[in-house]
A = this chain, B = another copy of it.
């Protein structure tokens, strides 16, 4: 969509003002606050045109204009520039995360918390599924007479444990043997691979020779398949309550009930496709496939280790959110995370 220069200016003025005030913007406001060098009447003409094009709309006849979803989209695609993070905020982030940089999980948690705090939106972060990660270590550890702990370690440093309750005790030899078999069967495989070809081979080969084999393998298989999904972190879910467009409990409920559902949030984040060159991705209103989010927008950025995308951070706010500032903030945070996780 090609727009004359002045129309762009008017559209931008409307969007910026609406983002700042949450009130419909009238022609007089624009002439007063944004110096376009023309009278309100002229602005009105431009606004009528913009409305015809679907970029802005009127809540009712005698109100000012508000941006439409298409208007935001145009703004985001053609007008907006990422607002760089101030030195002050960079410092704030660094000083708040410097203690947590040691542990991957803490760093991630802290980053999400900070994002929600700085932006006053809802922050989220998803770690990519581990399906391409390789299992480097597997071990069974007896910890009580009838209790084992299964420990799994991935090449990205992620560790998982699972308790196995035995119906009867196993000898140390049996446990050792079992561990060896498991190592041979799955170490070096990616998560995806071991899911496809589970432990049938072990089962066939050793059935009857090892006590309780069947029961134990079942638990292990469950662990291998169920665990290692993506991990999602959320923070600031209640920030939405501060937005004037969510003064209504029913609207709040719509959004918060979605946020509670891990599954949906994962889906949401995964659908935010983006190329490597352009890590920032923005979905406005109904572009997010979920009806309940029609009044919300989601801005996300990927972060990576040596070129490979390993996660995505995002901020969810009202469609009226400050896209420019948000994009800048996420941009910085994604760099920070890429950097901080490099040698983890």
Taking beta carbons and an 8 Å cutoff, which residues of A are in contact with B?
102-103, 136-137, 139, 141, 143-144, 147, 149, 151, 153, 157, 159, 161, 163, 165, 237-238, 241, 246-249, 252-253, 256-257, 260, 344
Known pairs A238-B253, A238-B256, A241-B249 / 9 extra A-B pairs, C-beta < 8 Å: A102-B165, A139-B141, A143-B153, A143-B159, A149-B153, A159-B163, A241-B252, A241-B253, A248-B249
With both chains docked as a complex, state the minimum distance between the C-beta of A313 and any C-beta of chain B, in angstroms: 20
In whole angstroms, what is the CA distance A260 to B247 when docked? 20
B153 touches A151 (CB 8 A): no
A144 touches B157 (CB 8 A): yes
Lowest 6 CB-CB distances: which A-B pairs, in order? A143-B153, A137-B143, A241-B253, A161-B161, A149-B159, A247-B249
Inter-chain contacts of A246 with B (CB < 8 A): 249
How many copies of the polypeptide does the oligomer hold? Answer: 2
B161 touches A159 (CB 8 A): yes
In whole angstroms, what is the CA distance A221 to B253 when docked? 43
Of B151, B252, B256, the residue contacting A151 (CB under 8 A) is: B151
Inter-chain contacts of A238 with B (CB < 8 A): 253, 256-257, 260
In whole angstroms, what is the CA distance A237 to B253 when docked? 11
Known A-B contacts A163-B159, A252-B252, A253-B241; the reply to A143 vs B149 at CB < 8 A is: no
13 contacts between A and B (CB under 8 A): A136-B143, A137-B141, A143-B159, A149-B153, A157-B163, A159-B161, A159-B163, A165-B344, A238-B253, A238-B257, A238-B260, A246-B249, A247-B249
In whole angstroms, what is the CA distance A143 to B153 when docked? 7
Inter-chain contacts of A248 with B (CB < 8 A): 249
Closest to A243 in B: B249
With both chains docked as a complex, state the minimum distance between the C-beta of A326 and any C-beta of chain B, in angstroms: 22
With both chains docked as a complex, state the minimum distance between the C-beta of A337 and any C-beta of chain B, in angstroms: 17
Inter-chain contacts of A144 with B (CB < 8 A): 136-137, 153, 157
Inter-chain contacts of A102 with B (CB < 8 A): 165
Of B151, B253, B256, B257, the residue contacting A161 (CB under 8 A) is: B151
Inter-chain contacts of A161 with B (CB < 8 A): 151, 159, 161
Known A-B contacts A137-B143, A149-B151, A153-B144; the reply to A163 vs B103 at CB < 8 A is: yes
Inter-chain contacts of A147 with B (CB < 8 A): 157
Closest to A248 in B: B249
Inter-chain contacts of A344 with B (CB < 8 A): 165
In whole angstroms, what is the CA distance A136 to B241 when docked? 46
Inter-chain contacts of A151 with B (CB < 8 A): 141, 143, 149, 151, 161
In whole angstroms, what is the CA distance A260 to B236 when docked? 9
In whole angstroms, what is the CA distance A102 to B167 when docked? 12
Closest to A242 in B: B253
Inter-chain contacts of A257 with B (CB < 8 A): 238
In whole angstroms, what is the CA distance A85 to B136 when docked? 50
Inter-chain contacts of A103 with B (CB < 8 A): 163
In whole angstroms, what is the CA distance A249 to B252 when docked? 8
Best-surrounded residue of A136, A141, A238, A249 (most CB of chain B within 10 A): A249
Inter-chain contacts of A143 with B (CB < 8 A): 136-137, 151, 153, 159
Closest to A155 in B: B144
